[in-house]
């Protein structure tokens, strides 16, 4: 946690510090709970569990044996979740595409740290999450047990805190905690990610048989069984696996879908209009023929087993003994009299129903839970086409993800993928927007995991999977732009978002007080020296600006305009709602000019006051007089 430097005197008490920690969702939930049950409040915002239990009455399970999911390390997962991040995301404009105009993000870093950092800016703003996490097949990247997940873990892994870098291992099935390790990796990420979803949002998680049972149990706990949407079966394998030792070719994987609220529903599939026609010029319009067979035997539903007689010919059509009819006898008689039943020409045929298009209540039919027309091989071919080599193994086909995007995500909605891999989700969003003209946004997070030596990615010049992800997005954008130019298909009045901003996870630009240091004079003196000038060496004004933006709750693509007031640079955020000045020498003239712009919020550097307490006191009063609701320093 950042420790504020001691003030010279009480004038500093009116100035708040920018909180450089990630959003504390636990504290937020605690406040919500105490609003509902104020009788459980105790001193220091503590909860009296016994009082809460009494308030809830019989709703509390106090038994020793409870139904639920447990595994070694689960308690530590909650400690990890509750530990705020003090990291930052450094802008990397040189690796970005159309930085100034895009609303898309590709973030390089550990996804748990990044998810925590996104809490303030994107809480409740994401419409859909799609992830394709490690399947835990025995060779997947997993955090080792001796690591407590933190920013320091990531810095060691990427060699920023350890010259040699730490190597993260694989999780073999010979390990006694094979499943627990995977669950300890997944649980905190899913828990934190849920906070980012909108109330009408949903998450889709790819998996296979290795962990589908455990994943579903985790999702039930985090999202609730009532928010289960579907367990889609995806026919991933196109051809039989002749290597199967069991002589069973496992051709499918799963996509587990859960919603933020139980009222969620997918859009559905558009009806096949080609099935409707009007060959007999029926005045009721186009119709299609559909079966009127039922689902029950005579023993199960005897009232649905009866003969249907054709008017005029008096031909009799008995029911199928296994199914009966769809409707009761009285309802069937009405349909016959209205000319809605089609009788076959042959006596051994079966009557069918005329279903009129005009009577369909919806333009869509249910989205099927089995997806069998797109395969892993399609994803491999996509990457091969873009790069001329197989730079990423077994990528998900973008068309698979685009199908879900089309079902769930509308104009200006955000899609998040925090296991981005080669960037299939970016391609899915960009190409789906090109198809239907919607303006969707994506946020991708990918660890800079090194590509294997001697692999196609290594030979192509890529150092990390994150590099592959960024380059894939660039190439998809270039291909779409070329296609627009060739076909002149650009829609008038809409400029598609063909770009992305790159950010990279790093330590905060501001040195925080390290409580782990030894309590001796030399170590403490070193800590004090760090806080004389508490901005890290090598950090730019943009680094500081975007950390303040992120920690102030603004999205990372918020428009920022650079202005000059009294000869000094001031950053105007979101049309002047927030003004940030990073000048090291502040003046009363500048402070008055900032106040005259009437922003809602102001952030200034502490160093800008140069120990001038009177200037700081004047700033507090000036901003208060002009109606500035929040004045903070850092």
Within a domain: 1: no
Backbone phi, then psi, for 473, in 5-degree steps?
A: -60, -40
The CA distance from 632 to 408, in Å, is 39
Quick one: 527 and 623 in the same domain?
yes
The CA distance from 168 to 153, in Å, is 10
Which residue blocks in 460-600 are alpha helix, DSSP H? 465-487, 521-530, 541-551, 588-596
Q: Domain with 196 in it: what CATH number? A: 3.40.50.150
Number of C-beta neighbours around residue 191 at 10 A: 20
Quick one: 334 and 250 in the same domain?
no
Give how far Cα 577 sits from Cα of 218, 262, 494, 586, 601, Å.
40, 36, 27, 20, 6
User: Whole domain around residue 124: which residue ranges?
Assistant: 90-269+366-506
Cβ neighbours for 161, distance < 8 A, ≥ 6 positions apart: 152, 155
Quick one: 579 and 608 in the same domain?
yes
- Domain boundary pick from 359, 376, 391: 359
The CA distance from 134 to 223, in Å, is 20
pLDDT at residue 172, as a whole number = 62
Q: Is the pLDDT of residue 231 over 50?
A: yes
- pLDDT tens digit string along 316-345? 999 999 999 999 999 999 999 999 999 999
User: Under the phi-then-psi rule, with left for phi > 0, alpha for psi from -120 to 50, and beta for the rest, what region is 285?
Assistant: left
Rg (CA), the chain: 31
- pLDDT tens digit string along 447-463? 999 998 999 999 999 99
Within a domain: 66: no
Measured in whole angstroms, how far is the alpha carbon of residue 95 from the centre of its chain? 22
> Which tops the pLDDT comparison, 35 or 619?
619
Average pLDDT over residues 541-566: 95
Within a domain: 560: yes
pLDDT at residue 470, as a whole number = 98
User: DSSP string spanning 109-134?
Assistant: S-HHHHHHHTHHHHTT-EEEEEE---
Q: Which residue in 304, 282, 306 sits closest to 294, CA to CA? A: 304
Q: Is the pLDDT of residue 621 over 90?
A: yes
- For strands 41-42 and 46-47, give the pairing: antiparallel
- pLDDT tens digit string along 369-387? 999 999 999 999 999 999 9
The CA distance from 546 to 105, in Å, is 13
The CA distance from 311 to 341, in Å, is 11
pLDDT at residue 518, as a whole number = 56
Instruction: Tell me if 39 sits within 8 A of 55, measured CB to CB.
Output: yes
Quick one: 469 and 577 in the same domain?
no
In the three-class reduction of DSSP (H, G, I as helix; E, B as strand; rest coil), residue 242 is classed as: coil
Within a domain: 3: no
User: DSSP string spanning 36-68?
Assistant: H-GGGEETTTEE-HHHHHHHHGGGS---SS--S
Q: Is the pLDDT of residue 530 over 60?
A: no
Quick one: 468 and 572 in the same domain?
no
> Which tops the pLDDT comparison, 565 or 511?
565
Average pLDDT over residues 11-40: 76
pLDDT at residue 4, as a whole number = 38
- What is the number of alpha carbons within 13 Å of residue 10 lying toward its C-beta? 0
pLDDT at residue 361, as a whole number = 67
In the three-class reduction of DSSP (H, G, I as helix; E, B as strand; rest coil), residue 469 is classed as: helix
pLDDT at residue 7, as a whole number = 37
Instruction: Tell me if 480 sits within 8 A of 428, measured CB to CB.
Output: no
Q: Is the pLDDT of residue 603 over 90?
A: yes
Q: Output the average pLDDT for the chain.
A: 87
Instruction: Tell me if 422 sits within 8 A of 469, measured CB to CB.
Output: yes
> Which tops the pLDDT comparison, 268 or 377?
377
Q: Is the pLDDT of residue 527 over 60?
A: no
Which residue blocks in 577-612 are alpha helix, DSSP H? 588-596
Average pLDDT over residues 6-15: 44
Backbone phi, then psi, for 97, in 5-degree steps?
A: -125, 120
CA dihedral in degrees (255, 259, 264, 265; nearest 10)?
0
Quick one: 580 and 609 in the same domain?
yes
Count: domains in the chain: 4
Quick one: 163 and 107 in the same domain?
yes
| Assessment of whether the complete model's pTM goes beyond 0.85 | no
- What is the number of alpha carbons within 13 Å of residue 531 lying toward its C-beta? 14
Beta bridge partners of 355: 288
pLDDT at residue 280, as a whole number = 94
Average pLDDT over residues 23-51: 80
The CA distance from 446 to 561, in Å, is 29
Write a three-state SS string for 156-200.
HHCCCCCCCCCCCCECCCCCCCHHHHHHHHHHHHHHHHHHHEEEE
Q: Which residue in 339, 164, 375 sits closest to 253, CA to CA? A: 375
> Which tops the pLDDT comparison, 214 or 65?
214
Tell me which residue has tokens 């070193």: 526
In the three-class reduction of DSSP (H, G, I as helix; E, B as strand; rest coil), residue 471 is classed as: helix
Quick one: 256 and 295 in the same domain?
no
Instruction: Tell me if 525 sits within 8 A of 531, measured CB to CB.
Output: no
Q: Is the pLDDT of residue 514 over 90?
A: no
Quick one: 48 and 186 in the same domain?
no
- pLDDT tens digit string along 463-504? 999 999 999 999 999 999 999 888 765 555 578 999 999 999
Within a domain: 515: no
Quick one: 245 and 142 in the same domain?
yes
- Domain boundary pick from 337, 359, 381: 359
Q: Percent of the chain at pLDDT above 70?
A: 88
- pLDDT tens digit string along 136-179? 876 655 554 444 567 877 887 777 765 555 556 666 665 557 78
In the three-class reduction of DSSP (H, G, I as helix; E, B as strand; rest coil), residue 560 is classed as: strand
Quick one: 467 and 543 in the same domain?
no
The CA distance from 52 to 35, in Å, is 12
DSSP 8-state code for residue 514? -
Beta bridge partners of 341: 353
What angle, 0 to 180 degrees and rounded to 10, lies between the N-to-C axes of helices 588-596 and 613-625? 20
Rounded to a whole number of angstroms, the distance between the first and last alpha carbons of the chain is: 13
Within a domain: 453: yes
Within a domain: 78: no
When pLDDT is cut at 50, 70 and 90, the band that residue 523 belongs to is low
CA angle 444, 448, 450 (to 5 degrees): 140
pLDDT at residue 32, as a whole number = 81
Quick one: 629 and 561 in the same domain?
yes
The CA distance from 184 to 146, in Å, is 13
Within a domain: 516: no
Average pLDDT over residues 277-292: 93
- Domain boundary pick from 359, 392, 417: 359
Instruction: Tell me if 461 sits within 8 A of 67, measured CB to CB.
Output: no
């Amino acid at each position: 946690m950042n420790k504020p430097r001691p003030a010279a005197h009480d004038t500093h008490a009116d100035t708040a510090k920018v909180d450089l920690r990630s959003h504390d969702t636990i504290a937020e939930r605690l406040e919500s709970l105490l609003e509902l049950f104020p009788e459980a409040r105790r001193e220091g915002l503590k909860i009296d569990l016994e009082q809460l239990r009494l308030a809830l009455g019989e709703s509390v399970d106090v038994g020793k044996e409870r139904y639920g999911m447990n595994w070694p390390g689960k308690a530590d997962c909650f400690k990890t979740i509750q530990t705020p991040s003090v990291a930052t995301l450094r802008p990397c404009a040189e690796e970005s595409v159309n930085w100034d105009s895009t609303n898309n993000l590709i973030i390089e870093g550990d996804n748990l740290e990044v998810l925590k950092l996104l809490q303030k800016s994107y809480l409740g703003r994401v419409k859909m999450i799609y992830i394709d996490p490690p399947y835990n097949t025995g060779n997947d990247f997993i955090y080792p047990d001796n690591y407590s997940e933190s920013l320091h873990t990531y810095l060691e892994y990427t060699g920023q805190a350890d010259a040699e870098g730490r190597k993260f291992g694989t999780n073999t099935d010979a390990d006694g905690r094979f499943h627990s390790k995977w669950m300890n990796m997944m649980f905190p990420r899913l828990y934190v990610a849920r906070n980012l979803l909108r109330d009408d949002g949903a998450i889709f998680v790819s998996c296979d048989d290795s962990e589908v049972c455990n994943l579903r149990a985790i999702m039930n706990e985090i999202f609730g069984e009532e928010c289960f949407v579907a367990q889609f079966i995806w026919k991933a394998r196109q051809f039989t696996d002749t290597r199967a030792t069991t002589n069973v070719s496992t051709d499918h994987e799963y996509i587990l879908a859960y919603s933020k609220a139980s009222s969620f529903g997918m859009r559905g599939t558009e009806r096949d209009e080609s099935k409707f026609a009007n060959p007999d010029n029926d005045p009721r319009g186009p119709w299609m023929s559909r079966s009127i067979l039922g689902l029950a035997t005579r023993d199960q539903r005897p009232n649905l087993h009866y003969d249907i007689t054709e008017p005029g010919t008096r031909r009799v059509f008995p029911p199928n003994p296994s199914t009966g009819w769809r409707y009761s006898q009285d309802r069937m008689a009405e349909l016959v009299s209205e000319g809605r039943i089609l009788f076959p020409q042959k006596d051994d045929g079966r009557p069918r129903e005329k279903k009129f298009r005009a009577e369909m209540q919806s333009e869509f039919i249910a989205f099927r839970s089995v997806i069998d027309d797109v395969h892993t091989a399609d994803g491999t071919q996509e990457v091969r086409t873009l790069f001329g080599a197989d730079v990423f193994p077994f990528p998900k086909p973008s068309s698979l993800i685009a199908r879900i995007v089309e079902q769930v995500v509308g104009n200006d909605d955000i899609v998040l993928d925090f296991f981005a891999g080669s960037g299939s989700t970016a391609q899915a969003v960009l190409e789906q927007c090109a198809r239907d003209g919607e303006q969707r946004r994506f946020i991708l997070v990918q660890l800079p995991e090194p590509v294997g030596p001697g692999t196609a990615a290594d030979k192509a010049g890529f150092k990390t999977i994150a590099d592959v992800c960024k380059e894939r997005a660039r190439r998809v954008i270039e291909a779409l732009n070329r296609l627009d130019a060739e076909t002149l298909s650009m829609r008038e009045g809409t400029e598609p978002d063909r770009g992305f901003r790159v950010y990279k996870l790093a330590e905060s630009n501001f040195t925080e007080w390290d409580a782990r240091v030894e309590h001796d004079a030399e170590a403490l003196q070193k800590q004090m020296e760090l806080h004389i000038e508490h901005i890290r060496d090598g950090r730019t004004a943009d680094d500081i600006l975007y950390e303040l933006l992120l920690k102030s709750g603004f999205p990372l693509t918020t428009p920022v305009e650079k202005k000059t007031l009294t000869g000094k640079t001031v950053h105007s955020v979101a049309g002047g709602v927030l003004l940030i000045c990073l000048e090291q020498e502040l003046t009363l003239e500048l402070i008055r000019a900032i106040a005259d712009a009437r922003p809602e919020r102001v952030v200034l550097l502490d160093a800008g006051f140069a120990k001038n307490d009177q200037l700081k006191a004047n700033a507090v009063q000036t901003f208060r007089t002009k109606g500035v609701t929040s004045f903070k320093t850092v």
